Amino acid sequence: MKFFVDTADVEAIRELNELGMVDGVTTNPSLILKSGRDIIEVTKEICAIVEGPVSAEVVALESEAMIAEGRKLAQIAPNIAIKLPLTWDGLKACKMLSGEGHMVNVTLCFSANQALLAAKAGASFISPFIGRLDDINLDGMELIQDIRTIYDNYGFETEILAASIRTVNHVTEAARIGADVMTAPPEVIAKLAAHPLTDKGLENFLKDWEKTGQKIL
């Protein structure tokens, strides 16, 4: 499973990248707002740090304007994935931009049918939002499973990018189902290493080690 970081916080990306945990980055207008940075500047900086795809989202609503914004974002660096919303205009822009050889990430996906359309429009990535479905008492993981089954049924190569990941259980479940990629905030990725039994075990080992009176270095 590839790990993308869902943030426009350059320092957080740099830190995780040094650990080899970053296969890509996803951003969106809300994350750009949170960063307080200019979209072009911050995206350029991220693209210079990370080798994998960096998603940058358009904000236009009509296909022609989306295509123009997408082309401008793609000029930032060769590893830009143009992020487009799952609307008919977004799909139209997806068809055009993916045909031009750009990576496209179709976002705000909340149904299997939407995912089917994105694959047919040539998307490199489809982003189903797990947490936001859970928020309204629907099952985000069921959607990931449905998309996995449908894509496998027909051999679609669009990668399933499990997004709106809020918990460590979301990561486990998405991996179990076989999502190709998950994108999560740095805080969620940091929690993946934590386990109380690891902490307890380490504490006990260190206590016993002290009793041996030995040193390794």
Among 43, 105, 145, 183, binds ligand G3P (CB under 6 A): 183
Is 120 tagged catalytic?
no
List the catalytic residue out of 34, 44, 83, 207: 83
Q: Which residues inside 107-146 make contact with ligand G3P, applying CB under 6 A?
A: 129, 131-132
28 lines the binding site for ligand G3P (CB under 6 A): yes
The set of residues, in sequence order, having a beta carbon less than 8 Å from that of 217 and lying 6+ positions away, is none
By C-beta, is 129 or 151 nearer to ligand G3P? 129
In total, the chain counts a number of residues equal to: 217
**By CB under 6 A, which span of 139-147, 162-170, 171-179, 192-200 interacts with ligand G3P?**
162-170
Give the separation between CA 94 and CA 82, rounded to whole angstroms: 9
Per DSSP, 154 falls in state H
26 lines the binding site for ligand G3P (CB under 6 A): yes
By C-beta, is 68 or 185 nearer to ligand G3P? 185
Strands 80-85 and 54-57: parallel
Are the C-beta atoms of residues 5 and 186 closer than 8 Å to each other?
A: yes
94 lines the binding site for ligand G3P (CB under 6 A): no
For 111, the token pair is 């149904």
Residue 169 CB, shortest distance to ligand G3P, in Å, is 15
**Exposed, middle or buried, 27 (CB in 10 Å: 0-12/13-18/19+)?**
buried
Give catalytic residue positions. Answer: 83
Binding site for ligand G3P (CB under 6 A): 6, 26, 28, 129, 131-132, 163-164, 166, 183
